[in-house]
Amino acid sequence: MDATHVARLVLMPLYYGDGGGAINDGQGSDEQALDFARAYPGRFIPFIGMQRPELLNDGIWRSTMGPGNWLLAGTERKLRSGEYFGMGEFMFRFYPYRTSLGNVAISDMRYPPDSVLMHRFAELGAKYRVPLVMHCEAEPEFAEQMIHLVRTHPDTTFIWAHNCGRSSGEQITRMFSELPNLQADLGLMMSTGGEGYGSYWPRRTPWMHLIASRDGVLLPEMQALFERFPERFYVGTDTAHARVYAFYARRADLWRRFLSQLSLATARKIAFENAERLFRTTPRPE
C-alpha cells in the first residue's frame, strides 16, 4: 500500500479456506480484519465477512431459524461495537473458476438475493448505517431479485459488486435512476488479461458487459455512465487470494489509467471521496 500510495484498504474476510478441491490461500476472519485496523490506525476498514461455508446452503437463506439466526445475532453484536464498517461479500450468483496462479473456487452458486435472511441483513445495514456488498452476476432472474431487495430497503446502502454484476450501461442507468440507495464497486473491472471481472471470465454470457477494451481504454458508454453518476462508484482491486498481492502494484496502476480517462472531479470521487463519505472517514495525511 505504501509503495503504491494507497491510503486505505477495505478488508472483507473470506471464511471458505482450503479443502474439497478449493484453493483459497487459507482462511480469514472478522477478528483478523479488526486486528489489522487496530494495529495500523487509519489504514484498514474492516468488514464482517459473508463468504462463509454456512451460507453455501439454499435453505439458510429462506429462514432465520438455526444457523441463520446465530449469524444474524453475531453480526449485530459486532456492528454494535462500532468497529466494523460494512458486511460482505454476500454471494448469490457466482461462477466457479480456476486461475493461472493456482487458486480454485469450486462452488457454482445460485442463492436468492430476495430472501428472508437477506432482508434481515438489510435491516441491520439500515440500523447501523453500514453498506452491504453483494456479488451477483446480472442474469435476468437474479437481477430482478436484486432490484426488489434494494427497492424494499430504501434506507440501506447496497453496493452491487463488479459494476452491478457486469450489467450494461443502459441497465445501470435505469437502476441508478430508480434506486438512490444502489451503488457499485468496480472490483477488478480493469483487468486487461484473460482473467478477472473486466474480461469475459470465467465464462461468457449474453448479459456480461465490460467497462474497457483489452488495452485499457474505457468504452464510451461506460465512460459516460461514470461521468453521469460519479458519486455511485468505487474502485476495487479484488485481491481475494493472498498470492494475488504480488500483483497489487499492477492492479493499482490499472486504476490510475482508468482515472486518467475521467474528468478530475469524477476521478476524485471514484478514487477516494465516495469511500471517505461512505465510511465517514477523513483523508489520511501524506
Q: For residue range 25-42, list pLDDT tens digits in order.
A: 989 999 999 999 999 999
Mean pLDDT of 186-209: 94
Q: Which residues pair with 46 in a beta bridge?
A: 11
110 vs 192 pLDDT, higher one: 110
Global pTM value: 0.97
CB 133 within 8 A of CB 122: no
Q: Kindly give the pairing relationship between strand 132-136 and strand 87-94.
A: parallel
pLDDT over threshold 80, residue 193: no
Q: Which of 63-72, 170-179, 277-286 has maximum average pLDDT?
A: 170-179
CA distance 220 to 261: 11
CA distance 64 to 197: 32
Q: Kindly give the pairing relationship between strand 158-160 and strand 182-185.
A: parallel
Cell triple for residue 168? 450494461
| Rg of the chain (C-alpha set) | 18
pLDDT over threshold 50, residue 251: yes
**Percent of all residues in the chain with a pLDDT value above 90, rounded to a whole number:** 94
For residue 188, the SS3 value is coil
72 φ/ψ angles, rounded to the nearest 5 degrees = -60, -45
CB 274 within 8 A of CB 45: no
CA distance 101 to 76: 36
Mean pLDDT of 9-28: 94
For residue 93, the SS3 value is strand
pLDDT over threshold 60, residue 283: no
Q: What's the confidence (pLDDT) of residue 211? A: 98
For 35: left if phi > 0, alpha if psi spans -120 to 50, otherwise beta; the answer is: alpha
Cell triple for residue 230? 460519479
pLDDT over threshold 80, residue 284: no
Mean pLDDT of 145-166: 98
- Out of 68-77, 190-199, 229-238, pick the least confident: 190-199
pLDDT over threshold 80, residue 159: yes
pLDDT interval class at 282 (50, 70, 90): low
Q: What's the confidence (pLDDT) of residue 100? A: 93
Mean pLDDT of 65-87: 96
pLDDT over threshold 70, residue 66: yes
CA distance 270 to 234: 5
pLDDT interval class at 286 (50, 70, 90): very low
Q: What's the confidence (pLDDT) of residue 225? A: 98
